[in-house]
Structure 1
Amino acid sequence: MKRNIFLRFLIVFLALTAFLVGYLVIRGDGPVSPQSKTGTILDKFDNNKQLTTSDPKLAEEEPFVVADRKVVSITNSPDKKGVIYFEKNTGKLFEFNFETKQELAISDIMLPNFMSAIWSPADREAIGYFASNTSAIFKYLNTKTNQEVPLDQNIRSAAFSPTGDLIAYYYADPNNSPDISSEELDQNGLPGPATIEPNKIFIAQPDGTYPKKILNTRLEDIKLSWPTEEWLVFKTPASEIFLLNKEGGLNKFLESQHLLEEKWSRSGKKMLYSTLSDDMEIAEPVLWVKELDSRSKKYLETGGNASRCVWSIDDINIFCALAESPSADEIYLINTSDGSRKFIFDPETSIKELLLSSSEDYLLFVSASNERLYAIKISD
C-alpha cells in the first residue's frame, strides 16, 4: 500500500515539474541568454554577445574596441602590424598592434589647437591641420623625431605624393582679398584699382622647403590630392575634378557634380565618387566609379557616400557604410566590376570613417556617435 502511494506521488511530482519547465520555456523566463541585446552599440562590442542577423555575412567574429578615446586621422602603421591615430583635440599619438591586441602611446606631447592630419604613405610623417584665430594653418609633423614645422600661413590645402617624398600645396594669395584701408589713393582721394595676384599650386619637400610653382590659378578654395606619381588632382568649389601634372598641364576629369565626394583607389587608377542622382525620386547620393586612363565610368546602382567607403588593394572591391536609417549604417562589400554586394555586419550606429588593415584581415571604423575606434576581423 505504502509503495503504491509513493509511486503515485512520484508520478504526480514529475508531471508537475515537466509542466512547469515547459511553461517557463514558452514564456521565455529564466536566465538572460548571451544573445540578449540592449539595443545599443554596446551589444556589438561585448565579447559575451553574439551578432545575430538573418543575412549572410562575411564577418564571423565580433567587433572589438581598438581605442576607448575619441580619435581622428587613422592610418596603417609603417610596419603593417597595426594602426596609428591621434587623440582628438589633444594631438597625442597612439598605436594599436593586432598581434598583441595592445594600445601603445607613441607620443604624449600635446598639440595645441590640433584638428586633424594628412598622413604620408611612406613613414610616420604628416601634415597637421590646426585651428587659429584667422584661418586654419598647416604644420609638417615628423612623429618619429617630434619635429614640428609651421608651413606658410596662406596654404589652404595640401597632399602627399604617392611615395611620400614630396607634398603639393595650394597657396591662396592674400592680395586676392585686399584691405581697402591699405590701398593707395588716387588724385581724387579714391582707392585705385586692386591688383589681384593669382593663387598658386606648388610642389615641395614635406617640410615646405624647395618649393616649385607648377600652376597659377584664379580658382579659390580648391582641394588637392595626389593619387599617382604622374597626376595631381584638385576639386573646385563647383565640384569639378581636374588632373594636373608637374609641368602644369591641365585636364578636366569630371564635370561639375551635386554633393560630390570622392575616394581614389590605392593604385590611383580609379576614382570612386558619390553624387546626387539626376533622378528626382532618389534623394540620396549614389555611387560611381571612373577610370583614370580610359575615362570610362560605371554606375554601381546603390546609394552611398564615397567618403565612407574604403578601397581594397585589388582595385576592385570596396567596403562601404550604407545608411540603414538616419542614425545607423550597415557595412557591405561591393564589387565595382559587376556591382554585386555582400553584407558584412550591422554595427547599429552611424559610421564616420572606414579603414582596411594593411593585410586586409581587419576592417576598422570610427563610430559617428562616440568617435571611438573599433575593428572587426573579416578574414584569416
Structure 2
Amino acid sequence: MTKAGAAPAPLLAVAGLVARRQGRLVLDHLSFTLAEGQCLVICGPSGCGKTTLLRAISGLDPVDGGTVRLDGQLRNGPGRRGCGRGEVGMVFQGEQLYRHLSLLDNITIAPRLVHGVPRRQAEAEAMGLLRAIGLEDKAARHPGQLSGGERQRGAIARALALSPRLMLFDEPTSALDPSCVREVLGLIRQIREQGQTMVVVTHQTAFARSIADSIVVMERGRILDVGSPEQVLLEPGTATTRQLFSGGLPEVSALDRVRLSGTLTIGIAAEGPNVALESLRCNPVLALLARRQGCTPALRRLDFTTPPLLLRAGLADLLLVRNSSDPAGLVMLPESEGLPPGLALAAAANDTLWLKALGRG
C-alpha cells in the first residue's frame, strides 16, 4: 500500500539486468523504471542490446543477472522467467503474423487460447480493433494479401487484443517500405495518446522525440544517457547521443527551447509590423501565452527575410507578422485575437511539438 504523499510504484522496474550470449556481455547491469501511462524510447547504434533488452522484459529470453518486475511481480531473473498471460504485448521488427490464418483469426487466437474468450466475443472485439486502425475491410484477408504497413498494423492490433499493461515495440518500421512507415508511426502515436504504457525501440529519432516521456541511449549493453527528451536532445551527455540525434533531428522544436530557457521569444521583423516594442510588452495576449508555457515573454526585433529559417535557427520561438501575409512554412495561430489590429502570431508549420502545445497539432 502506497503511503500518503509517496510516489506510486513504477509499473516496470528493471534492476541490474545482465545478459550474456555466447560468452559475450550483451546487457551490462541495466537499471531503469517506467511509470504507468508513460512512454520510454530506447535509442542506440545497431548491436547495442536494444532487442535483447525488450525480449528480456517480455520474458521471451533468459537473463544472467538482475530482475525485471512488472507491477511488483517478478517477470524475469536468473533461472526464472515467464511470458505471463498477455500482460506484456510485443511487436517485432517483422510483423510475424501467422501466414495460414486470416487477419481476423490472427487477432482472435490469443484471446481465445490464453483467456478463453468465446469465439464470437473475440471476433467482435477484434473487429473493433480493426475498425480503429482502418483495416475492417481486410479482416478476411491473409497476410500475403496485405501490404507491409497493413501487416504491421495488424500485428499491433494482435498485441493489443489482450489489453496488455505494457506494450513493447522493437523497431516496428525497420522492415517496411518508406511509403508504409508513416501509417505505422501514426498508429503507435494514436495508441500512445490513449495512455498506453510502452517501451519503443526506434531509429526514427524525430518520432521518438514526439512521443517519449523519457529517452534511454544505449551503447555496448550500457546506458549512456537517460532523461527527458529535451535534456537528451539539447544537452547530450555523450558523443554517441549527439551523433544519433544530430542525424535524425535537423531542427529543434521551439517548445524545447522555451522549456529549457524559461523564456518565450517573439521575433518581429525590422521591415515588418510597425509597432512599438514597449506597447507589445504590456500586451495581455502575449503575457497569457507565455504564462501557459510556464515562462516569461521576450520581444526581439530582427532583420530577416526568410521567416521559417529564422525559427529553425532558434532566433525566435514565434513570429509577429502582418496577418495579411501568408508566407510558406508558417502557420497563423488563433492566439492572434487580442493583438494590435493587423498583426498575427505565426509558428513554424512543421514544428509538430510546438503546434500541439498551442492546440494546433
Query: Shorter-chain TM-score: what band?
Result: under 0.3
Asked which structure has the greater RCO (Cα within 8 Å, sep 6+), the reply is 2
TM-score by length of 2: 0.26
Larger Rg: 1
